[in-house]
Amino acid sequence: MTAEYKVHGDVALITLNNPPVNGLGYETRVGITRGLEQAEADPAVKAIVVTGAGKAFSGGADIKEFGSPKAYQDPNLLSVILALENASKPVVAAIHSVCMGGGLELALGCHYRLAAPGCKVALPEVKLGLIPGAGGTQRLPRVLGVEAALNMIVSGEPVASERLAGLPGQKLFDQLAASPASLLDEALALARKVAAQQAGGSVLPRVRDLPCRHPQGDAYFQFARNMVKGMAKNFPAPAKCVDAVEAATRMKFDQGLAFEREIFINLMQTPECRALRHVFAAERAASKIPDVPEDQPARKIEQVAVIGAGTMGGGIAMNFLNAGLPVKILEMKPEALERGLATIRKNYEAQVKKGKLKPEVLEQRLALLSTTLSYGDIRDADLVIEAVFEEMGVKQKVFETLDQTMKPGAILATNTSTLDVDKIASFTKRPQDVVGMHFFSPANVMKLLEVVRGGKTAKDLLATVMQLAKKIKKTAVVSGVCDGFIGNRMIEQYSRQAGFLLEEGATPEQVDKAIERFGFAMGPFRMGDLAGNDIGWAIRKRRYVEQPGMKYSKTADLLCEMGRFGQKTGAGWYDYQAGKRDAIPSELVNKMISEHRQAQGITPRKISDEEIVQRLVFSLVNEAAHILEEGIASKASDIDMVYLTGYGFPLWRGGPMQYADTVGLFNVAQAMKRFARNPQDDAAFWQPAPLLARLAAEGKTFN
Ligand code: NAI
């Protein structure tokens, strides 16, 4: 049983006990109901207190039950709440630490609520593409007022209990406990007091009986709808939150409850909700590595060193400073250190200007930062991350020196984006201590961290890096060693397709617009102009030598030969006005493309936006299927996380693998066979990867 029952004199205490956050799974629901029955049946019991053991009152639905029929098996949450509300004896919720989702809805079904200070209170369902489905949209406005409740429901963000307790006229909390430690005693005392009141003839208060009104309802809900439309255009749930709360003001309680339920069930079936629930689970799954036990002891990381104060080194250092860890940056020359330091300071100052950082915090962070030109000064660091030039010779010298100087057990990480991590590890006598930590630019902003696991990387090291990633608020995904790791290996196929599309008749603008309408933050050509088209050029030049059979469109090379590297040279696929970032379609580039087509004897054809999107996205999917099959990624959901957090893939589509699952793998494979017949395209590439072909044939999915 995951809810305990105990009697304290004349008060029964029901304690939810389903670690880690007392999720309201089937067993817990049964436990609460049984406890309630016992308390009702015991004449010595005059009142009931419901609370949570450990680190939460309740975090809401049990994620272990997510999407399974068990989540709705009777007693379902609605009936548990109804049972509490209809209890003949007063029920007091003693709330602390975390009270979210179904947990808050449960508390709202109790007659009285007592909260400890410092408790996080939320209805976060909207973040999973849903609305609260157990009365939250009907009861919360009755205790907090329509506006405060709708803000919480639409944002899903937690609010501190003491803030809520301070809202004028609020009825969410009857009392705020003096401290978490005294919560239980105060709850028992409150229970006895209200039991005495009941004995004196007073009726048990129920939230459902409170009025729910807004003085300017029409105007307010119109305003709320407009706000929500602007903020969440690709997600249906936020607008439905407004509908449900409005219903609370216009319908009878039970009617409103049914209305809420209907919305909830309909949302559950939407692709957006499925995508968001997938992402929720994928994020948690990413930190689990199949052959590394969850209780694997980790190494201690108290001091960090970064080698190289360039674009990446500075951003990487900021992550650790933000998490309160001291960082020492090593460079070759004092000028490089000064430049790097100035950039870090400038980045922090920009945050202060925007009001995102307090000036004193800026100083605290910079106080944790020090610099050096000597390896002797970083010898005691627990983790060193190398971010020097992308040349094997340079990396070799750095890793040989690190091997000679660093203390035993120190983690030696490289931020390389293209080089072989096993080769880098081989420059040391401790390859088990070497790992890739592939940050994305700007490293202090981008959420993604690819953790590149070498052939010999130790398990405890991996466990350490995954833990550390959480501390610096990154989404870490493990990748095996291969060219480009997960993300860049896939993006290369996507870029190739973008090139073929130009040759066949599309313009850069058409391609970008189509994929941006699909939801990517930026199309491939605008992206190229931002990152620098010379980077891809360098990679292709290498490919022409190493893989002469690989087919590319020449347009990108011709562009670079014109010196159009992108925003940094003032011109790329697009024209740019001095000091501005707006991409202006370029006549010169379009002329170059059309001359190239002529030279190749290609008659341009009209390409639909649908074909553009499919070729770009399915190229990612096919390469990803190879990556999965080779074991470079251990699960499809990891690939989705890489694309959602590092490459601007639209969140509401759940990542490339989830999207392919939604389209249906059979349809995806069919489309690939069609693309293979395009004369300009790479027919060999479009052979569906064996894993994809198999899943498509069996009617299965990646996720
Ligand atoms: P960068 O050229 O901006 O910075 C490199 C820094 O390393 C320079 O400040 C240089 O003085 C310093 N350096 C070079 N050799 C050194 C040595 N032997 N000892 C100490 N310092 C040395 O380069 P960036 O862009 O920061 O790239 C660094 C690494 O990060 C490369 O491996 C790159 O592939 C990788 N990377 C770059 C990304 C990007 O978008 N720029 C993204 C992800 C990874």
Instruction: Give the three-state DSSP class for 94.
Output: strand
Residue 418 Cα: closest atom of ligand 1? 34
Q: Phi and psi for 295 in degrees, rounded to 5?
A: -100, 20
The whole-number average pLDDT for the span 407-412 is 98
Answer yes or no: is the C-beta of 646 below 6 A from any ligand 1 atom: no
Dist. CA 314 → ligand 1 center (Å): 10
Answer yes or no: is the C-beta of 416 below 6 A from any ligand 1 atom: yes
Answer yes or no: is the C-beta of 309 below 6 A from any ligand 1 atom: yes
What's the whole-number average pLDDT of the chain? 96
Dist. CA 347 → ligand 1 center (Å): 18
Answer yes or no: is the C-beta of 413 below 6 A from any ligand 1 atom: no
Find the catalytic residue in 85, 105, 272, 450: 105
Q: How confident is the model at residue 1 (pLDDT cuts 50, 70, 90)?
A: low
The whole-number average pLDDT for the span 482-488 is 96
**Residue 203 gets which letter from DSSP?**
P
Nearest by Cα to 173 from 162, 157, 186, 185? 162
Supply the DSSP string of 431-453, one letter for each residue. GGGEEEEEE-SSTTT--EEEEE-
Those residues with Cβ within 8 angstroms of residue 48's Cβ, 6 or more apart along the chain or in another chain: 11, 12, 13, 14, 35, 36, 39, 87, 89, 90, 91, 92, 191
| Residues 110/103, Cβ–Cβ less than 8 Å | no
Answer yes or no: is the C-beta of 398 below 6 A from any ligand 1 atom: yes
Residue 392: CB atoms within 10 Å = 14
User: Where are the alpha helices (H) located in 354-484, listed in sequence order?
Assistant: 359-367, 392-405, 421-426, 459-471
Q: What is the largest CA-CA distance in the chain?
A: 96
Name which residue sits closest to atom 4 of ligand 1, judged by CA. 310
Dist. CA 401 → ligand 1 center (Å): 17
Answer yes or no: is the C-beta of 390 below 6 A from any ligand 1 atom: yes
- Site to probe by mutation for ligand 1, drawn from 412, 417, 441, 527 as the one with most ligand atoms within 8 Å of Cβ, is 417
For 673, the token pair is: 């066979």
What does the pLDDT look like over 99-149, one tens digit per residue? 999 999 999 999 999 999 999 999 999 999 999 999 999 999 999 999 999
What was the pLDDT predicted at 71? 86
Full-model pTM: 0.91
Nearest by Cα to 419 from 387, 467, 465? 387
pLDDT over 90 at 539, yes or no: no
The whole-number average pLDDT for the span 527-536 is 92
Dist. CA 469 → ligand 1 center (Å): 21
105: annotated active-site residue: yes
Q: How confident is the model at residue 231 (pLDDT cuts 50, 70, 90)?
A: confident
Answer yes or no: is the C-beta of 534 below 6 A from any ligand 1 atom: no
Dist. CA 391 → ligand 1 center (Å): 9
The whole-number average pLDDT for the span 472-485 is 97
The whole-number average pLDDT for the span 14-28 is 96
The whole-number average pLDDT for the span 208-212 is 97
For 338, the token pair is: 């000064």
The whole-number average pLDDT for the span 518-524 is 95
Name beta bridge partners: 52: 16
| Residues 574/586, Cβ–Cβ less than 8 Å | yes
What does the pLDDT look like over 35-89, one tens digit per residue? 999 999 999 999 999 999 999 999 999 877 877 888 889 999 999 999 999 999 9
Bin 54: left if φ > 0, else alpha if -120 < ψ < 50, else beta: left
- Site to probe by mutation for ligand 1, drawn from 306, 372, 389, 488 as the one with most ligand atoms within 8 Å of Cβ, is 389
What was the pLDDT predicted at 444? 95
| Residues 81/135, Cβ–Cβ less than 8 Å | yes
Dist. CA 392 → ligand 1 center (Å): 12
What does the pLDDT look like over 302-331, one tens digit per residue? 999 999 999 999 999 999 999 999 999 999
Q: Which residue has the tokens 């990624």?
A: 633
The whole-number average pLDDT for the span 627-633 is 98
What does the pLDDT look like over 550-580, one tens digit per residue? 899 999 999 999 999 999 999 999 999 998 9
Distance CA 95, CA 115 (A): 5
Instruction: Give the three-state DSSP class for 634.
Output: coil
Supply the DSSP string of 286-297, one letter for each residue. HT--TTS-TTPP
Distance CA 389, CA 416 (A): 9
Answer yes or no: is the C-beta of 388 below 6 A from any ligand 1 atom: yes
Find the catalytic residue in 85, 125, 246, 331: 125
Distance CA 539, CA 327 (A): 32
Nearest by Cα to 655 from 675, 631, 676, 635? 635
| Residues 559/573, Cβ–Cβ less than 8 Å | yes
68 HSE (CA, 13 A, CB side): 9
Dist. CA 332 → ligand 1 center (Å): 12
125: annotated active-site residue: yes
- Site to probe by mutation for ligand 1, drawn from 306, 307, 312 as the one with most ligand atoms within 8 Å of Cβ, is 312
Answer yes or no: is the C-beta of 421 below 6 A from any ligand 1 atom: no
User: Where are the alpha helices (H) located in 200-304, listed in sequence order?
Assistant: 217-231, 237-250, 253-268, 271-286
Dist. CA 636 → ligand 1 center (Å): 31
Q: Phi and psi for 47 in degrees, rounded to 5?
A: -155, 165
Domains in the chain (CATH in brackets) are 3-268 (3.90.226.10), 304-479 (3.40.50.720), 487-698 (1.10.1040.50)
The whole-number average pLDDT for the span 224-240 is 92
